[in-house]
Every structure is written in structure tokens, then in C-alpha cells.
Chain A
Amino acid sequence: MNAQQILDKLPYSKPFLFVDELLHIDENGAKGTYTYAKELDFYKGHFKDFPVTPGVILTETMAQIGLVCLGIYLLGDHNLQAKATVALTSSTIDFLKPVFPNEKVTVTSEKVYFRFNKLSCNVKMENEAGEIVCKGNIAGMITEKSHEQ
């Protein structure tokens, strides 16, 4: 499965799609980017007159690129009618630096294990200067949802 096929299978759309490019994917991990457009709605309120990307959005971005894209890849080509998705089951993230509007970030994930449909990954997010802005562990249970549901 190539990067475009994985992006097509993502179960998200605007305003909750946080993957622009998938740069690399193999059975051990994924790497992708996202740019937080300054028009994104949450900047109006987080914070008042001082827009900073919320930690939950950074976590979601790491989950979509690092965990969900990898999960779709690991499920592979079987059952092309099904849309794979990941129910987030745990996350432990350290936030090291703020991410401001218009910043482009790169997320890299490394699989810890994929057993019994649970995928656990170590993830990190870097800014354009190559500084780590947040890192940690995210896990989810992979489910396949048919189009009929």
C-alpha cells in the first residue's frame, strides 16, 4: 500500500484531518507532516489574543500520522471495502515547546508492538528547526468499519 492509498483510507476530514503528507511508512513506523494554518478555528479561543496549538491537537496529530496511518498500513490490502480506524486507548505525552499558527511539524512513530489488534507506538513531533516539541507513547485498538455502518 502506498502513501496516497493510506491517506485516502483515513477516516477523517476537515476540520479534523491533521495529516498533509506521509513521507515514509513501513512495518516499523511512519513519518509525516502537517502545517497548522493560522485560520484553524481553535486558535480563536486557545488562547484569547494569543494563539497556541492546543496539546490535545498535537496529540491528535501524532495519533493520526503515527498510529492511524501505520495501523492502516499494517492491516494491509485485505478487505479493501473496509475503512480501518483506530480507537485511541491511551496516550502519555510530554510537551516540550509551543507550536504557533503556520508552523509545520514532522511526526515520526516507531512501533512498540502490534498484537491482538492493539498498536502501541513511541511518537515524536519536531518543528521546522528540528527541535522536538512533544513526544511520548500512544496506543489504540484497530477496528475495521464497513461503509454500510
Chain B
Amino acid sequence: MPIINDLKEIITPYVDDKTALENITEDTDFLTDLKINSANLVDIVLDIEEKFGITIDDASMNKMLTVKATIAVIEEKQAENAG
């Protein structure tokens, strides 16, 4: 299953605009497009850690503002785990 589908499931509870959620793409920005606040973004990152079995550091967290950047961080951390 593509990571984006898992991601969509994780962010669903934090998004009011269900149309924006349905139209999610790699370019979707969590703050401006989905109106997620920074506090909820922390919870999303914690949910991502649990779902993918990875640990996300502060520097990576700061990058995770779009779907594309978030998927890149997840893949990077998974690769580190595998290695």
C-alpha cells in the first residue's frame, strides 16, 4: 500500500475539510491546504512514528510540512532502520 494512503488515514482525524482531504496529492501542504495547526502536526508526527516504527528527530520534523516531504522522511527513516 502506498505510504500516502497510510498518511491520509493518520491525518483524517485532524482535518475538517473533507474535500481537501479527498483531493490530497504529493504537493498538499498540511498547514495551508489542510489547515492543520502546529500542535496537531506534532500528534500526526507521533502517529507516523508509531505506524511506521521509526523515530523522527527535530530536523526531520521541521521538514514535514507537505505530503511529499513527509513521505521522503518516512522512506529515509525506514531505509536507516533496514540498514
Contact = CB atoms under 8 A, between A and B. Distances in A.
B52 to A, nearest CB: 16
Contacts of A89: 37, 39-40
Nearest to A139: B39
Contacts of A139: 39
DSSP majority for the B interface?
helix
A116 B37 CA distance: 13
Interface of chain A: mostly helix, strand, loop or mixed: strand
A141 B78 CA distance: 28
Report, as a range, how many residues of chain A touch the other chain.
10 to 19
A118 B41 CA distance: 10
Contacts of A90: 39
A89 B18 CA distance: 22
Interface string A84-107: 000001100000000000000000
21 contacts: A89-B37, A89-B39, A89-B40, A90-B39, A113-B46, A115-B42, A115-B45, A115-B46, A116-B42, A116-B45, A116-B58, A116-B61, A117-B42, A118-B39, A118-B42, A118-B43, A139-B39, A140-B39, A141-B38, A141-B39, A141-B42
Interface of B: 37-40, 42-43, 45-46, 58, 61
